[in-house]
Chains A and B, each alone.
Chain A
Amino acid sequence: MTESGPGTTDGAELATGSEGDTADHGTDMGQTGTKTGTGTGAETGAGTDLAVHLDGITKRFPGVTANDDVDLRVERGSVHALLGENGAGKTTLMNVLYGLYHPEEGRVVVDGRERAFDSPQDAIDAGIGMIHQHFMLVDSMTVAENIALGNEPTKWFGLAVDREQIIAEITELCDRYGFDVDPEATVEDLSVGVQQRVEILKALFRGADVLILDEPTAVLTPQEVEGLYDVLEELTAQGKTIIFITHKLEEATHAADAITILRDGESVGTVAPERTDREDLAERMVGREVLLEADSDPVATGDVVLSTQNVAVEDEWGVDVVSGIDLDVRAGEIVGIAGVDGNGQAELIEAITGLRTPDEGTVTYEGTDITDWSRRKRIDAGMSYIPEDRHKRGLVMPFDLVENSILGSQRDPEFAPDGRIDWTSVRDHTDDLIDTYDVRPPDANADASSFSGGNQQKFIVGREFERDPSLVIATHPTRGVDIGSTEFIHDRLLELRQEGVAIVLVSSKLDEVRALSDRLAVMYEGEFIDMNDPDAITEEELGLLMAGEQLDEGANSASSASPADIQGGESR
């Protein structure tokens, strides 16, 4: 089922494409057939068997139309990507399918039967399973307990959970789909990739035939992403249907059988991956041409701005989470730090930014030992910081953007000339930020909490970049940001570098650190295991380094896993 031009897919085409279906599918056809399509219309494969058909879904929230007459037709046994930028309405559409939202208009048809889901439970009963971006797992419970949660088979007249049966069913599912998951393991001990498998098992355990995956690769390493693709293949081979939400072009083209693109709540068409390329998809997604590769002309580097010597950090249990880190960052240089989340990047950055005192070692800034400096002194000295957790450290959520715009510079003479804050100039500054960094909606008086994650991030990035820093510590600067804005943030980072700012970039997006960094360190279990020229190392090699493997022995398995087209140069 493919469609070439932009525009909403047409209801009428379905009627032509699904001869020989069930009787109630036929009634469904009758209804759709009368509906006039708004799109340019296109062909569709003959004899399609639709597992899910969302027909003309419109979902409004106060002030926003999140989905506007969206059609989605998903063939049974296929992988269907739902591609779009942040706020394009992908998740809303899936929440409609999952029974979390009631659409104002449109029909939800599953297995040829029109449904009205009042709750996720109804959707689950109809064979729909959802794997949320943030896993819905209880960390302290075992895999088996999580998978069976809410659906526990019991024995002794309901007096006890039948653990043997749960384990047996899970083992059977694992065998059938080739998963390697220990049902007795505690979830918090598992890697993210395995946790995701537990989520998939949970849906299968409940009898799901259609699996919705919300940004499934956001938290995975490249190797785990490969593993996920294998899982998807196995699932569809056994007749399951997959819908996955993504804003990453490569994933859509690599893993999907069909791609539906959403932009601003509207469907701009469904395409087959072999009939499109990344540029085309990006353009449909953003609505204008997008430059996918960030240029980084070499810049002459200056003096060392930031230097750490033998920095070590212990966590509250006395375990070393960062050890022996030596790092020099020069003016006009971007040093990238890659690694799977939780390998000490956060603690290292906290030690550099002054949120935590290192247990060993020193941090030097522009030649001065600043190990014991306060945050205030560091900010005043020109250290900008884009924090990892924007809600906890980047913004005061119940404050409006005007107030948030001077967090950290509230004593700056520019905004507080006589010790009192000059709100007029702050407001001007805020409006500039909103304008330059395309924060939407452009309302300086709105509370930070009312903005979407991507827009909050753009605002923080703007505030930190416009501080006139000599050092920028950017952790995940484009996390949750759509490709249009990512492109802009990358350009600004490179501009700052051109101006001679020293930049430390921590990101779990490999293509991002690779494309932007002049030098790239890989962090694993608290140590730098390698410092590289990012152009001299492939994405796969990087993934192996991040997984703590040595390149020599891992090289073979890396080359077998079709490298470049998996993650290369993704969304920006």
Chain B
Amino acid sequence: MRKRFRRTREFIDRHPRAASLSVGVIVLAFLWATPASWQTSTLRLAVPIALAAIGGIFAEKSGVINIGIEGLLIVSAFSSIIAVYWLGDGGATMGVSNLWWGLLVGILVSVLFALIFAIVCIEFKADQIIAGLAIWLISLGLAPFASRIVFGNPNTANITRFGNVTVPGLSEIPIVGYLLFDTEPQVYLMLAGTLAGWYLLSRTSFGRWIVASGENPKALDTAGVDVRKVRYAAVLLSGVFAGLGGAGFALGTLGTFAGGGDTAINGRGFIAIATYLLANYHPVGAVLGSFLFAGLNSLQTALQSAGYAIPHELVRTIPHMSVIVVLVLVGRTRLPDAAGDHYESGED
């Protein structure tokens, strides 16, 4: 048994690209095998996980572990719904649909929370895990509370969701067409966000700085780049991505915000963290991973409606379980060396 693990590890060590590619192919094949309605639902359910994961990658790559990403999803989902409600459901403001304004508000609120988190972690050198948990717990309490003030109920009113946007021509392509080019705005945003995240991280100088800031901040500092600024930028970016994910999910998929229990977000931020760890911080891998977990989620829904009552609690453990299994089998997830550490310039 141990020998087999080792052989798997050795293969992955030697051919990391081939290994990740094959995992990607397996995930896509798995989705391929599911009926069309699942596929669309999978893509929608993947939105908050994928975008939150990309946000988390930016923060953690820069050395700030943002475990509060769940909280960012909650506040952005809630505030986007309430913004649309206040502006007028189904209406438009200054010629732009209120849904888009809601999306903007969701992102801004998420960025605001990310900023608080960043200040606490970078300026006041708080423990990142504790600060992140605080962000989550505050959001978990704040959103239902605000909803109760506005609606007298932890659940918000319903709003009219985003409708499908069809790209003429491209949507005629079999399978890919209806999946990717005849879908809701948040799915487009997820795909665009993935590409943007990947590009930013791997092709721009800013991306290099983020990696250096998380691996060896002193090297970055001596190279004349302000580590604090890079980390602020990365954490705020995680706020942008998480906000996009939370608000997009609320406005496009849910149409409401349920504040009871774990709220409508229901641990998706934590699944996002598991997802990017699984993907070893690769944005595209994280998105594929989110397809896998969202797919399992829609599978569970389908099974339940078919009469097989698999408890959703059990299904929700799958991402976390699979992270453990993958870590045991592969052990390729490598935390940035300086993740979780404070950095102070001029320290010897």
Contacts and interface: CB of A to CB of B under 8 A. Distances in A.
A432 to B, nearest CB: 31
Interface string B325-348: 000000000100100000000100
A265 B9 CA distance: 53
B215 A138 contact: yes
Interface in A120-179: 120-121, 124, 130, 132, 135-141, 145-146, 148-152, 154, 158-161
Contact of A318 (B6, B203, B205, B218): B6
B205 A152 contact: yes
Contacts of B334: 140
B204 A161 contact: yes
Interface in B204-252: 204-205, 208-209, 211-212, 215-216, 218-225
B214 to A, nearest CB: 9
Nearest to B200: A159
A504 B22 CA distance: 50
Contact of B208 (A119, A124, A132, A141): A141
A407 interface: no
Contacts of B212: 138, 141, 149
A121 B221 CA distance: 9
Contact of B219 (A130, A149, A151): A149
Contacts of B205: 152, 154, 158, 161
Contacts of A150: 209, 220, 223-225
Given A124-B224, A154-B205, A318-B6, A140 B219 contact: no
B195 to A, nearest CB: 13
Contact of B220 (A149, A158, A161): A149
Which of B204, B334, B337 has the most chain A CB atoms inside 10 A of its CB?
B204
Chain B interface, DSSP helix/strand/loop, else mixed: helix
Contacts of B203: 160-161
Interface residues of A, number: 29
Nearest to B9: A317
B223 A149 contact: yes
A289 to B, nearest CB: 32
A558 interface: no
Contacts of B221: 120
A15 interface: no
B244 to A, nearest CB: 21
A100 interface: yes
B219 A146 contact: yes
A138 B211 contact: yes
Contact of A152 (B208, B211, B218, B346): B208
A150 B215 CA distance: 14
Which of B6, B211, B223, B334 has the most chain A CB atoms inside 10 A of its CB?
B223
A382 to B, nearest CB: 37
Nearest to A130: B222
B333 to A, nearest CB: 13
B204 A121 contact: no
A140 B208 CA distance: 11
Contacts of B211: 138, 140-141
B208 A120 contact: no
B170 to A, nearest CB: 25
Interface string A106-123: 000000000000011100
A136 B218 contact: yes
Contacts of A100: 346
Contacts of A148: 208
A159 B224 contact: no
A161 B346 CA distance: 28
Nearest to A121: B224
Contacts of B216: 136-139
Contacts of A132: 222
Contacts of A120: 221-222, 224
B293 to A, nearest CB: 27
A150 to B, nearest CB: 3
Nearest to A318: B6
A149 B346 contact: no
Nearest to A316: B331
Nearest to A98: B222
A149 B208 contact: yes
Contacts of A202: 223
A137 B215 CA distance: 9
Interface in B1-39: 6, 9
A136 B223 contact: yes
Pairs of residues from A and B, 10 with the lowest C-beta to C-beta distance, nearest first:
A150-B223, A152-B205, A136-B219, A121-B224, A150-B225, A149-B223, A138-B215, A136-B222, A138-B212, A138-B216
Interface of A: 100, 119-121, 124, 130, 132, 135-141, 145-146, 148-152, 154, 158-161, 202, 317-318
20 contacts: A119-B224, A120-B224, A135-B219, A136-B222, A138-B211, A138-B219, A138-B220, A140-B211, A140-B215, A149-B223, A150-B224, A151-B224, A152-B205, A152-B208, A154-B205, A161-B203, A161-B205, A317-B9, A318-B6, A318-B9
Interface of B: 6, 9, 203-205, 208-209, 211-212, 215-216, 218-225, 334, 337, 346
Given A120-B222, A138-B216, A159-B204, 19 more contacts: A119-B224, A132-B222, A136-B218, A136-B223, A137-B216, A138-B219, A139-B337, A140-B211, A141-B208, A146-B219, A149-B208, A150-B223, A150-B225, A151-B224, A160-B204, A161-B203, A202-B223, A317-B9, A318-B9
